[in-house]
Chain A
């Protein structure tokens, strides 16, 4: 039992770390891009939206392939990182973070854009004539009125990142203790015929995902419909 506990804890902690960091990355970039798409007019805006939504519909293996092309030893970004800094992202847990972030990105970005678009631009204008800089307008008006929608997206993104399999396997592989996340550990356990471990891991990941969804439901119901109430 001790051995199976270890075999479960290590991938669980790795999965939580990878999913947490991936969600933070997706949030940072997703909020910025969502704000641009909601508030600025430029050419190719809807094309950009489509491209950024692609990870939601493309097979994870296709995303993994793209990431390998980009981040691999001879990839555009991978080659440069290796030459300049000696960094190799392939078969590293950081690579798993990038794969999960890309897969989870649309789940942050789409609701964030909708949340920003639901904020009345006149309220932002009101803040401007009251003497506020653009950053203060964003922090004091736009974000407080949009954050519930953004948070809902972030929780879904976290749950999605927890369950990431295909792209992660292609980019980071399945190195026990290093890049073997919970969902990959399930696959490995089933392949190796470790049925008990597989069952335990499956129950574990299911509970974590249920907890996240319950948290989302607890934070959000009724308040999304009426964002005015605190």
Chain B
């Protein structure tokens, strides 16, 4: 994945000010954005997905420009065709696991399952071992099942890249290890470019082909002192 990010944005709320000014270039299949909480990791990932608009700068993925303040280009999230897995998964509480996974395949105005998507959904339910909970609602799921549902929902659209916001932070230690391994295998099998943000060093060890270290809204100089 060719990921080019050079953005800045100022956030103001209740007298506080946060300056995000992040520039980096990545060209591995697995990129980890690493840093303490409040360093601007989530904001950077959201900007790549189009969920926040930078004040200035440029974002491109695999040669496709997503955002360019000079040419006033700003693709809507739906046009960027990247998948985004939220930290607490953001599963739709009013839809079953099956309906959650099929959500992006249906481009209508109402929540109806498109007939052609059934086989596709079944396949993803099997791949992620959640067929047994297909008709349950998100509140009835365990942490691991929720994450698998979120991954299936994101991947079924055949995105060009997979963005994950602290994917294992909500899981307990043993489950974290298991899900890390599963994502590792899934990424290798699908060969989908992946960018993951984390403050957990074990994630860096597994997924950090390339590591971008953020501190106070900026890219920090050396990774060595980040992990030291």
Contacts and interface: CB of A to CB of B under 8 A. Distances in A.
Most B-side CB within 10 Å, residue of A122, A125, A133, A229: A125
Given A120-B90, A123-B92, A145-B93, A129 B83 contact: yes
Contacts of B157: 130-131
A129 B93 contact: no
A145 B94 contact: yes
Interface stretch (B17-25, B30-38, B105-113): B105-113
Interface stretch (B2-10, B74-82, B124-132): B74-82
B49 interface: yes
A128 B111 contact: no
Interface string A127-155: 11111110110011100110000000000
B78 A144 contact: no
A140 B139 contact: no
Contact of B86 (A126, A144, A228): A126
B110 A139 contact: yes
Contacts of A228: 93-94, 137-139
A230 B83 CA distance: 28
A123 B103 contact: no
Nearest to B138: A228
Contact of A141 (B49, B92, B139, B153): B92
Contacts of A127: 92, 103
B51 A140 contact: no
Interface string B35-55: 000000000000001110000
Contacts of B168: none
A115 B46 CA distance: 25
A122 B109 contact: no
B109 A135 contact: yes
Interface string B91-120: 011100000000110011111000000000
Contacts of A140: 103, 109-111
Contacts of B104: 130-132
Contact of B51 (A120, A123, A128, A131): A128
B77 A128 contact: yes
B94 A122 contact: no
| Most chain B beta carbons < 10 A, residue from A120, A123, A126, A132 | A126
Nearest to A139: B109
Contact of B90 (A126, A145, A229): A126
Given A130-B153, A228-B139, A125 B109 contact: no
Given A228-B94, A230-B94, 16 more contacts: A125-B86, A126-B84, A128-B76, A128-B77, A129-B51, A129-B77, A129-B78, A129-B83, A130-B78, A131-B107, A132-B107, A133-B107, A139-B110, A145-B94, A228-B93, A229-B137
